[in-house]
Every structure is written in structure tokens, then in C-alpha cells.
Amino acid sequence: MKGTVFAVALNHRSQLDAWRDAFHQPPYNTPPKTAVWFIKPRNTLIRSGEAIPHPEGEQVLSGATVALIVGKTASKISPQEAADYIAGYALANEVSLPEESFYRPAIKAKCRDGFCPVGDRATVDNIDNLTIVTEINGREVDRWNTADLQRNAATLLSELSAFATLNPGDAILLGTPQTRVTLHPGDRVRVLADGLPTLENSVINARELPAQQTFAWPLSTSGTLFALGLNYADHASELDFTPPTEPLVFIKAPNTFKEHNQTSVRPDNVEYMHYEAELVVVIGKTARHVAEAGAMDYVAGYTVCNDYAIRDYLENYYRPNLRVKSRDGLTPIGPQIVDKSAIADPHNLTLRTWINGELRQQGSTADLIFSIPFLIAYLSEFMTLQPGDMIATGTPKGLADVRPGDEVVVEVEGVGRLVNRIVSEEANS
Ligand SMILES: O=C(O)C/C=C\CC(=O)C(=O)O
Ligand SMILES: [Mg+2]
């Protein structure tokens, strides 16, 4: 099994009930209109029998659920067609720290090493009425039924495939109830459901992890692309935000990647398709608990990306949400990785974007709010960065809409010049 693990928050009725009043207050203002997606990156994935690391001083919550495993490439499918695209289901545990907000991506709560155990796959007769039981140290502590999900498995597959092509081995975690069970070092947590292989994991103190243990999806084909939001003060203010005091990090899945000289699709009937020129840092060796002072040793090189956003789809849930940023083909990246030794000072590079030859965006990595070593230290404090992982460092001021027919060139001085063309949905079909 391999692939990207997508997950959905606020999909159990008990969660919607608990948050109902808050949804009408800032920062949310309205209840979510679409599924609230997030990604469990490869460092979170472990198998049955492996240990869940418990970060010292944190409250760790078990979130027993089911993973839908995709069997066939799925793009824009209806709920009625979904069964044909599903290879089976597996028990999973969407382990998390407590969440006090659904406004920003919950990366620090949900993307810690080993926070996504997934069991073996099987087929299930009726996934929409499945009871999932959690036992800790042999005692039942939780039980819930998939009939209480807001969106069922087929609907989730359909809604995600509307903007992200799913490939065999990709998975969707169906959601968890509001109430979760606390895990402690030394616990054994078992997740059970009729017809699915039991998922069993011990919980160990994260300090006791063997140094060489990595948290890699066994057959992963691609590193994780972490992206920074609002990492340039001038860009934050053009979007009417004050600059963040802590990095705002979201994840872009591999379905978004496009090579140099390819096309990206502008969805019909949208007003805002914005380019974003960004310097991307490529990690060269495993980084866990790295100090800022030594963090540049973990960089292999640099590349360029265009972190397109469809801002019409912004909702104040895990903002920027996957519908805005993780659409098929909306991250042109490349054209090459430039070795670290070729860049004298990555914090003094000019970024530029041209539309049809006209210069529309210009900034400098000198203005990054959170520097490259700070970001590596920040992320590696709560997750293991692995060779091939990437950090898109954010974009400066200068956004504008792009239209079918436009040629968009983003450049980072000394690193590369990345060309992309915008096409309409019709031209792409
Ligand atoms: O939530 C928002 O509107 C802003 C999030 C990300 C912007 C981004 O990708 C960047 O600053 O770069
Ligand atoms: Mg960006």
C-alpha cells in the first residue's frame, strides 16, 4: 500500500453539534460548506504492531476510524460510481493532540511522527453501518458507528475527486467523533471492527524511539511538500492579515505537482486564480529535533514552485483549505534542484513573476519572516523531515489573477525559471 492519506475533520455529527455555535463566531463566521480536508504526511504513517510515539508533556488522543483505500484512478466521480474505485478498507487511528481551533491547518496537532497507524486492507459489506471499537489495555473505552458520519465514504471519495485525482493506494480517513480517548506511554491500543483486521499499537515515550527509526510510508514515491502561508509581511498585508507570529504551514499533495513547461487548469466560473512565486528548500537528510544553528546542514538544495491558489474556494476551516491549494496540477515545480553549494545566500535572492512577459511580482527572500533554518528547526521539533521533503517558503506581495492563454513565469534568482501556461477546463478535457 502506498500513496497520500487524506483525512476529513468535522465529519461526525457529534463534532458538528459540539462546534455548532462556534461556527457562527469569528474566525469561522459560517459553518463549513464543504468537507474539511487535511493530509496525514508520510512521517505519520505506521503499521499495526509499530509504536505510537508520545511527545513528552502533550496530551495524545486516539481517533479510531476507517481508511478507504483507493483501487483505481479516480477523478470527478459521482457517489454512485464510488464503489468501482474502492479497493477496500482498513482500520486506522487518526492520532492527534487536542485541537482548540479549526481555523488553521492542524499540522502541529495531527502530523507528528507515527500519528497515523493504518491496518491491513479487507473488503466490508456495509461500510455505512460499521461499529468501530477502541480498547486500551484490553478494556473497551470507545465505540461509534459510521452511520453517524455527515458524509459517507462514497460521498467523501466523490467530493475529493472533484478537485484531486486519487490514485491506487491513496487513502481517505472517514472522520472521528468529538470525544476521544487519551493515550499514555505504556498503553496498548486496539481498534476493532467486524470484517477488518484488528489494528494494534503500543504507545511509547517519544524519547525512547530508536534514533534510526524513520516514519516512512513503505512505498512512498514522493516527499512531502510543506508550504508556508503569509511568510512575507507585504503579502500578508495585501491579503489583510497581520504577519503571523508562528509559521502557518500547510501541505500540498503530489496530485498538485506539474513539471516545467506544462499547463495548469483554471476552473470555470472563478474570479481569483493567483500565482505565487516561491523558493523551495529540498531536505537532504533525516532531520529530527534539529537546532536552528545547524539546520542548514540538512538542506540538499533549492528549487522553484508556483503555489497557485483559487481564492474563491477559501473557507475559514484549516485555511488555506485543500480545495484552494491542493487541486490537480496547481503546483508547477522545478525545473531542477540546484545544489546548496551553488547558492551563496538563500536569504538574498530575488523572486519574480512575469505574465505574458510583463513583470507582475517582485520580492526578495531577505524579507522572509521565518528563515530557512528557523523553519527546519520548527518543523523538525514535532515531526521528522526526510530526504526529499520540501519546504515552499511563501510568496511576496504582487498577486494578480491569471486567465486561460496566459504564460506564467516564476523565477528565483540563481535557482531557476519555471514556465507554466493556463488553460480552461474545456481545453483540458
Ligand atoms: O489563508 C490564507 O488566505 C493565506 C494562506 C496562504 C498563502 C500562501 O500560500 C503564501 O503566503 O505563500
Ligand atoms: Mg504560497
239 close to ligand 1 (CB < 6 Angstrom): yes
Nearest ligand, CA 105: 1
CATH architecture assignment, domain 5-208: Alpha-Beta Complex (3.90)
Q: How far is the CA of 6 from the centre of ligand 2 (A)?
A: 20
315 Cβ inside 6 Å of ligand 1: no
Tens digits of residue pLDDT in 247-288:
999 999 999 999 999 999 999 999 999 999 999 999 999 999
Asked if domains 5-208 and 225-428 share a fold, the reply is: yes
Read off the amino acid at residue 109: A
**Looking at ligand 1, which residue's alpha carbon is closest to its atom 5?**
229
The CA-atom distances, in angstroms, between 298 and each of 191, 216, 303, 386, 415 are 37, 18, 15, 9, 18
Ligand 1, atom 3, lies closest to the CA of 320
pLDDT at residue 1 above 80? no
CA distance 89 to 43: 21
Q: Within a 10 A sphere around the Cβ of 408, how many other Cβ atoms?
A: 22
Q: How far is CA 294 from the centre of its chain?
A: 26
Q: Comparing 214 with 41, which gets the higher pLDDT? A: 41
What's the whole-number average pLDDT of the chain?
Answer: 94
CA 278–ligand 2 middle distance (angstroms): 7
Put simply, whether the predicted model's pTM sits higher than 0.80 gets the answer: yes
Contact 384, 113 (CB under 8 A): yes
Among 29, 225, 230, 397, residue to substitute to test ligand 1 (most atoms within 8 Å of Cβ): 230
**Category of 372 on φ-ψ map: left (φ > 0), alpha (ψ -120 to 50) or beta:** alpha
CA 11 to centroid of ligand 1, rounded, Å: 25
Q: What HEC string does 77-142 produce?
A: CCHHHHHHHEEEEEEEECCECCCCCCCCCCHHHHCCCCCEEECCCECCCCHHHCEEEEEECCEEEE
- Position 222 scores a pLDDT of 67
Residue 388 predicted with pLDDT over 60 = yes
List pLDDT tens digits, range 189-231: 999 999 999 999 999 999 887 654 544 433 334 689 999 999 9
58/383 Cα distance (integer angstroms): 14
Q: Is 208 exposed, middle or buried (0-12, 13-18, 19+ CB in 10 A)?
A: exposed
How far, in whole angstroms, is CA 244 from its chain's centroid?
A: 19
- Which has more confidence, 412 or 216? 412
Per-residue pLDDT of 94-153, as tens digits, reads: 999 999 999 999 999 999 999 999 999 999 989 999 999 999 999 999 999 999 999 999
Domain ranges of the chain: 5-208, 225-428
Ligand 1 atom index nearest CA of 394:
12
CATH architecture, domain 225-428: Alpha-Beta Complex (3.90)
pLDDT of amino acid 354 = 98
Percent of the chain clearing pLDDT 90 (strictly above)? 92
| pLDDT score of 5 | 96
Q: Is 276 in the pocket of ligand 1 (CB under 6 A)?
A: yes
Q: In whole angstroms, give the CA distance from residue 261 to residue 90.
A: 39
Give Cβ neighbours of residue 305 (< 8 Å, ≥ 6 apart). Answer: 225, 278, 280, 331, 332, 333, 392, 410, 418
Cβ pair 413, 394 in contact under 8 A: no
Q: What is the pLDDT of residues 315-361, one digit of tens each?
A: 999 999 999 999 999 999 999 999 999 999 999 999 999 999 999 99
pLDDT of residue 217: 35
392 Cα nearest atom in ligand 1 = 12
How far apart, in whole angstroms, are the C-alpha atoms of residue 353 and residue 359?
Answer: 6
